[in-house]
Amino acid sequence: MSQITDLTLAQLKQALGDGDLSSVEITTAFLDRIDSLNPELNAFITISHEDACKAAADADAARAKGKAPAFAGLPMAHKDLFCTDGTRTTCGSKMLADFVAPYDAHVVSRCQQAGLISLGKLNMDEFAMGSSNENSFFGAVKNPWDLSRVPGGSSGGSAAAVAARMTPLATATDTGGSIRQPAALTGTSGLKPTYGRVSRFGMIAFASSLDQGGLIAHTAEDIALGLGLIAGHDPRDSTSADQAVPDYTATLNDSLKGKIIGLPAQFFDERLDPAMRRSMDDVLDVFRSLGATTVDVSLDHIAEAIPAYYVIAPAEASSNLSRFDGVRFGYRADNPKDLTDLYERSRGEGFGSEVKRRILIGTYALSEGYYDAYYKKAQQIRRLIKQDFEQALSQCDLLFGPTTPSTAFVIGEKTADPVAMYLEDIYTVATNMAGLPGGSFQAPLIDGLPSGYQLTGPAFGEGAILNAAHQIQTATDWHTLRPEGL
């Protein structure tokens, strides 16, 4: 058998069920690997040694009595914006550096009910604002493929932890590409479900109409297993979709013959790096060899996605983050002179520069005299983008394109230029604006670094995305490649 930490979630589940491994053995192996690698990678903010070991022992005892659920004793980890009862939940910010959540997020409780064991909480860009994981109060996460490079963001800790085999499965969130972009840069699989497919209850908000919880893992099969656990209606979330959850694993092996893959012209113009284009062509060759056909489509308003997103998301962030004022919870300035001083210094000292930048942009966009010119106009563009996707998907089953314009960039390379950083999400933000599901999966390496292709489907079309990705992974070995020395 391979080393325990080399196994996928599906393989670990099989080994546990067959009695080849115990939960204690699996959990200890991953905790040892975290202890070995995390000091350098900085993927975990909190490591739950004691709680995880106890849960593993309990899972083994329950399994011995025949009373354990199917996923009992399997390890995973949570992005540190999912509230976890009794465990520090920081959101990567000084503002919440010492905050211990008094309840579990819906996603966390679903994982616990299934028997999954949390290894800890994963690093992230502060309040999920960033594309490189350099904005965390707890320091930048490093890409396991090249420690001088970023892992992407905001779910960089989740992606790096999976890529380095410190966990087989990680929760993550995606507001404008924060699952798909880091998955592409770290050679992992990531899925952003349809807006409303996964409850946002207990997920610390950035932009409420765009945020969506999802997963990062090694394979589409692992994501299919995990998504079946966390998806579903939650009455505590008014945006949660009351729609039945299918068995995502049931359709993984469906043939791609007769499937039509749409190629948006705007994703393949002269701006796409030639090396990335060749990588995408290699993936398309596999799709065609499996019986799929391709058709050219157009997303006419895609160029406006980035500017519209960076009006809507900061506007919603400005509203959501107003609750962090030093009064009820979170960071509180010392010895305030009065209430105004408490507000100003608590927020000034507790928030990082990128969060402040987005709050200021959002507050300005919502202010009197500018609301119609900026926020309303951005929402109108959002509607046009949604219509573009509906039109394109009426001609095909899935849309295909690169996830990122390039491979992982060097840490510090873009921190002085926020606009250049925002353009890292050029291929991903539109999917969030339309509320559609999107996934990023492993493509061929480019000069030794991972690349990823993106699939976008119709609303609640997660099964079709995972089926297509699984078929590619069955036919290739790109998803099995791993960082040298790890």
Catalytic residues: 79, 154, 178
DSSP secondary structure letters along 313-332: HHHHHHHHGGG-SSSSSS--
Sheet of 438-446, strands arranged across: 44-47, 117-122, 75-79, 169-174, 212-217, 189-192, 438-446, 449-456, 398-402, 260-264, 293-297
Residue spans of the domains in the chain: they are: 1-486
- Cα separation of 453 and 260, whole Å? 16
Q: What is the pLDDT of residues 182-230, one digit of tens each?
A: 999 999 999 999 999 999 999 999 999 999 999 999 999 999 999 999 9
Q: Does the N-terminal peptide bond of residue 154 adopt cis geometry, omega within 30 degrees of 0?
A: yes
3-class state of residue 122 by DSSP: strand
Digit-coded pLDDT (tens) for 38-79: 999 999 999 999 999 999 999 999 999 998 998 999 999 999
pLDDT at 2: 62
pLDDT in tens, 278-325: 999 999 999 999 999 999 999 999 999 999 999 999 999 999 999 999
292 in helix, strand or coil?
Answer: coil
Superfamily of domain 1-486: Amidase signature (AS) domain (3.90.1300.10)
Which residue spans within 236-282 are E strands per DSSP? 260-264
Question: Tens digits of per-residue pLDDT, 409-438?
Answer: 999 999 888 878 878 889 999 999 999 999
Q: Is the pLDDT reported for residue 155 higher than 80?
A: yes
Residue 33: per-residue pLDDT: 97
| Neighbouring-strand partners of residue 82 | 203
Q: Stretch 152-162: mean pLDDT, rounded? A: 97
* 107-122 per-residue burial string, b: 16 or more CB within 10 A, e: under 16: bbbbbeebbbbbbbbb
- pTM, whole model, 2 decimals? 0.96
